[in-house]
Structure 1
Amino acid sequence: MSLSRRALLRLLSGASALAFARPAGAAGDKILDQGIGGTGIRPGPDEEGDRGIGGTGVVGTIRAFGSIVVNGLRIAYPPDVAVAIDGRPAGVVELKLGHVVQVVARADESGLSTARIDVLHEVVGPVTAVGRDRLTVLGQTVATRGAAEPRRWRLGERVAVSGLRRPDGVIAASRIDPAGDRPALVAGPVRRAPGGTPRIGTLPLPGLDPALVGRRAVVEGEVAGRRLAIAESREAGRPFGPEVGRVSIEAFVARDGGRLRLGSGLEVAGSAAALPRSGGLAVIDAAVGREGRLTVESLRLRRDPAESGRSGPGAADPVGRGGVDAPGGRGPGGRGVEGPAQPGSPGGLGRGGVPLDRRMPGDAGGFAPHGGPGRPGGLAPPGGFTAPGGAGPGGFAPPGGFGAPGGPGGFGPPGGGGFGGRR
Structure 2
Amino acid sequence: MNLAPSVFSARGGEGDEDEKGIGGTGLQPVGTGDGVGGTGSPYHSAYISGVVYAYGSICVNGLRVKYDAQTPVYLNGKKVDHSALTLGSTVKILSSVDGVSGTLSADRIDIERIVTGPVTAIDLESHTLSVMNETVLIDATDIPFSVGEIVSVSGLRRTDGQILSTSLTPALPGADESLVGSLKQETDGQWIVGQTPVEMPNDEKAVSGQTVFVQGKWEGGRFIVSRLTALSPLPAINEKVRTYISYEGILETFHEDRSIVLSGLQATVKDLLCGGEPLEKGERIIAMGSLRPDGTVFFDGLVDVEPEETKILDNKSRAVSKPESKAAYND
Which TM bucket (shorter chain)? 0.7 to 0.9
Among candidates 153, 159, 169, match of residue 151 of structure 2: 159
Aligned: 1:193 with 2:225: no
SS across alignment from 2:179: strand
How has the CA–CA distance of structure 1 residues 288 and 225 changed in structure 2, closer, same or farther, with 3 Å as cutoff? farther
How has the CA–CA distance of structure 1 residues 340 and 214 changed in structure 2, closer, same or farther, with 3 Å as cutoff? closer
Per-residue deviation, residues 376-409 of structure 1 (Å, max 9, x unmatched): xxxxxxxxxxxxxxxxxxxxxxxxxxxxxxxxxx
Q: Which residue of 2 aligns with 1:324?
A: none
* TM-score relative to the length of structure 2: 0.74
- In 2, the alpha carbon distance for the partners of 1:256 and 1:53 equals 27
Q: Which residue of 2 aligns with 1:136?
A: 130
- In 1, the alpha carbon distance for the partners of 2:19 and 2:285 equals 23
Equivalent runs, 1:369-388 vs 2, <5 Å:
none
SS across alignment from 1:190: strand
Q: Does the 8 Å contact 2:245/2:291 carry over to 1?
A: yes
How has the CA–CA distance of structure 1 residues 146 and 206 changed in structure 2, closer, same or farther, with 3 Å as cutoff? same
| Count of matched residue pairs | 287
Q: Does the 8 Å contact 1:138/1:186 carry over to 2?
A: no
TM-superposed deviation, 1:271: 5.2
Equivalent runs, 1:5-84 vs 2, <5 Å:
36-37=26-27, 52-84=42-74
Among candidates 83, 95, 99, match of residue 93 of structure 1: 83
Aligned AA (1:214): G
Per-residue deviation, residues 129-187 of structure 1 (Å, max 9, x unmatched): 1112111112111011159xx64211111111011111111111111111132111111
Q: Which residue of 1 aligns with 2:288?
A: 285
Aligned: 1:114 with 2:116: no
Structure 1 runs not aligned, ≥5 long: 1-11, 20-33, 43-48, 306-310, 315-338, 349-355, 360-423
How has the CA–CA distance of structure 1 residues 78 and 357 changed in structure 2, closer, same or farther, with 3 Å as cutoff? closer
Q: Does the 8 Å contact 2:270/2:298 carry over to 1?
A: no
Aligned AA (2:324): P
Q: Does the 8 Å contact 2:25/2:300 carry over to 1?
A: no
Among candidates 320, 323, 329, match of residue 345 of structure 1: 323
Among candidates 227, 230, 243, match of residue 225 of structure 2: 230
* Bigger radius of gyration: 1
Among candidates 170, 175, 179, match of residue 167 of structure 2: 175
Aligned: 1:184 with 2:139: no
Q: Does the 8 Å contact 1:57/1:246 carry over to 2?
A: yes
Q: Does the 8 Å contact 1:58/1:247 carry over to 2?
A: yes
SS across alignment from 1:242: coil
- In 2, the alpha carbon distance for the partners of 1:240 and 1:216 equals 14
Bigger shift: residues 161-170 or 66-75: 161-170
- In 2, the alpha carbon distance for the partners of 1:210 and 1:50 equals 47
- In 1, the alpha carbon distance for the partners of 2:197 and 2:92 equals 27
How has the CA–CA distance of structure 1 residues 116 and 215 changed in structure 2, closer, same or farther, with 3 Å as cutoff? same
Q: Which residue of 1 aligns with 2:93?
A: 103
Structure 2 runs not aligned, ≥5 long: 1-15, 29-34
Q: Does the 8 Å contact 1:240/1:292 carry over to 2?
A: no
TM-superposed deviation, 1:217: 1.5
Q: Does the 8 Å contact 2:270/2:300 carry over to 1?
A: no
- In 2, the alpha carbon distance for the partners of 1:292 and 1:225 equals 43
Q: Which residue of 1 aligns with 2:236?
A: 241
TM-superposed deviation, 1:301: 1.3
Q: Does the 8 Å contact 1:238/1:292 carry over to 2?
A: no
SS across alignment from 1:283: strand
SS across alignment from 2:169: strand
Aligned AA (1:252): I
TM-superposed deviation, 1:256: 5.2
CA RMSD between the two structures: 3.5
Aligned AA (2:290): A
Among candidates 197, 216, 240, match of residue 211 of structure 2: 216
- In 2, the alpha carbon distance for the partners of 1:172 and 1:267 equals 18
TM-superposed deviation, 1:197: 2.6
Q: Which has the higher contact order (CA 8 A, sep 6+)?
A: 2
TM-superposed deviation, 1:273: 5.6
- In 1, the alpha carbon distance for the partners of 2:252 and 2:130 equals 23
**Greater strand share, structure number:** 2
TM-superposed deviation, 1:269: 2.4
Q: Which residue of 1 aligns with 2:12?
A: none
- In 2, the alpha carbon distance for the partners of 1:358 and 1:238 equals 33
